[in-house]
Amino acid sequence: MAGQALVVFADVPWLPPMHDWQSGLLPYPVLLASQIAILVVQAKVSIDFARGHGFAVRRRPRLGRALIVFSLIYFAAMLVRYALTMLFHPERRWFGTGTIPIAFHWVLAAYLGTLGRWHTTVDADAR
Q: Predicted confidence band at 118 (pLDDT cuts at 50, 70, 90)? A: very high
Q: What is the pLDDT of residues 8-54, one digit of tens each?
A: 677 777 766 666 666 667 777 888 888 899 999 999 999 999 999 99
DSSP string, the chain: -HHHHHHHHH--TTS--HHHH--SSS-HHHHHHHHHHHHHHHHHHHHHHHHT-SGGGS--HHHHHHHHHHHHHHHHHHHHHHHHHHHH-GGGTTT-TTHHHHHHHHHHHHHHHHHHHHHHSPPGGG-
Question: How far is Cα 29 from Cα 1, in angstroms, rounded to an integer?
Answer: 12
Mean pLDDT rounded to a whole number for the chain: 84
Q: Which residues contact 6 (CB under 8 A, 6 or more apart)?
A: 12, 15
127: confidence class by pLDDT, cuts 50, 70, 90: very low
> Domain extents for the chain?
1-58, 59-127
Average pLDDT of span 113-119: 96
Report for 9-18, 49-58, 60-69, 84-93: range of highest mean pLDDT: 60-69
